[in-house]
Amino acid sequence: MGILEKISEIEKEIARTQKNKATEYHLGLLKAKLAKYRAQLLEPSKSASSKGEGFDVMKSGDARVALIGFPSVGKSTFLSLMTSTASEAASYEFTTLTCIPGVIEYKGANIQLLDLPGIIEGAAQGKGRGRQVIAVARTADVVIMMLDATKGEVQRSLLEKELESVGIRLNKHKPNIYFKPKKGGGISFNSTVTLTQCSEKLVQLILHEYKIFNAEVLFREDCSPDEFIDVIVGNRVYMPCLYVYNKIDQISMEEVDRLARKPNSVVISCGMKLNLDYLLEMLWEYLALTCIYTKKRGQRPDFTDAIILRKGASVEHVGLEDLWACGKRSHIAQLQSPLPTALHCATVSVTTRGPHSRGNCWMPPPGSPSSFM
């Protein structure tokens, strides 16, 4: 029996098993086996001669966004509208056969947008070019899931299932579980919260399925067996996702309103160029980028060239070594906290390396961009 057949049998077994206290251990073991077989399925073939032509795209810019969806939902049209890149668009399926990169210039940032070939059902099992598409999607900072508003929720649920099966977790955070394999001493299990989904026995059974007999496990939140398996496997990717419903000009206003109110969702029409500006604002928010502007002493700030930093970045990403060289220790103490709060309150003499060297590095407080001029 091949891996695909084993996966199919386990999925059927899970589907027909009732979920209750008596079956929770059995279901936990089945899910652990399923995760193992799926990991084996995604391993690259040693005999494969072609390595996914057209998918080896160098990561560039300040962030990477993967544009995924079923064939002919408007991905190529969207890429052409948002960037200067021309991607073939037509009314028939599978127009795009390779990964086509483009660049969105927004608020001083260069955002790399990848138009990936349409995912078909069964992509996680290698159908079409599913493996290559999903591999590229795992390297993105944000996923834009392009959906056809006329197809209801069918496309969304199928795509979520495909991405879930290959370890991509959309709009979820990493489980707060401490896990560390050891060389001896058995399994040490503890929790700081009341657990309603996992028990010590179930944790031990799952670990034994992975041939782990010595480990430290600490649950800091009430997690499910699936989340614990994710921690054991260790290769899961957690990323934000925007669900973009295209072709809203073909549905009723009531349906547009319903879709627009769904969490993490934006409604647009590429054909009529509707709501694209709002989509860009939402994308910027999900990327969590921060613009840092620089100025020379006694001169106005240069708002034409921003330094783009990620959420949680500290001042050392701008040039902490040079700050120390300037001897501004009192200012540096203020700037040790993450951005953007720290840079709202201080102007520091700094000689930064690279193309963004300006002299003083600062960030205008919200609502008053000229306060420090």
The domains of the chain are located at 3-43+175-233, 50-172+237-286, 288-357
| Residue 41: predicted pLDDT | 67
E-strand ranges in 220-310 read 237-239, 241-246, 265-267, 289-295, 302-310
Tokens of 129: 């070019």
The pTM is what? 0.73
| Residue 355: predicted pLDDT | 39
User: In DSSP terms, which residues pair with 290 in a beta bridge?
Assistant: 309
Q: From residue 318, how far is each of 16, 63, 141 by CA, in Å? A: 56, 17, 21
| Residue 82: predicted pLDDT | 87
Tokens of 309: 């930093």
Tokens of 342: 């720290």
Q: From residue 211, how far is each of 33, 48, 123, 187, 244 by CA, in Å? A: 12, 30, 29, 12, 42
Q: Is the peptide bond before 369 cis (omega within 30 degrees of 0)?
A: no
Q: β-strand 348-349 against 360-362: which pairing, if any?
A: antiparallel
- Please state, in angstroms and rounded to a whole number, the distance separating the CA atoms of residues 237 and 172: 10
| Residue 242: predicted pLDDT | 95
| Residue 72: predicted pLDDT | 81
User: In DSSP terms, which residues pair with 65 in a beta bridge?
Assistant: 113, 142
- Please state, in angstroms and rounded to a whole number, the distance separating the CA atoms of residues 31 and 25: 10
Q: What is the CATH number of domain 50-172+237-286?
A: 3.40.50.300
Q: In 3-state terms, the chain is what percent helix, strand and coil (to 5)?
A: 35, 20, 45
| Residue 93: predicted pLDDT | 43
Burial class (CB in 10 A: 0-12, 13-18, 19+), 330: exposed
| Residue 246: predicted pLDDT | 94
| Residue 51: predicted pLDDT | 46
| Residue 122: predicted pLDDT | 53
pLDDT tens for the 373 residues of the chain, in order: 677 778 888 888 888 888 877 788 888 888 888 888 777 766 655 544 444 444 566 778 889 998 888 888 888 888 888 887 655 544 434 444 567 788 888 888 889 988 877 554 554 555 545 566 777 788 889 999 999 999 878 889 888 888 888 888 999 999 999 999 999 999 999 999 999 998 999 999 999 989 999 999 999 999 999 999 999 988 899 999 999 999 999 999 999 999 999 999 999 999 899 999 999 999 999 998 888 877 788 888 877 777 888 877 776 766 543 333 333 333 333 344 444 433 433 333 333 333 343 334 444 444 444 433 3
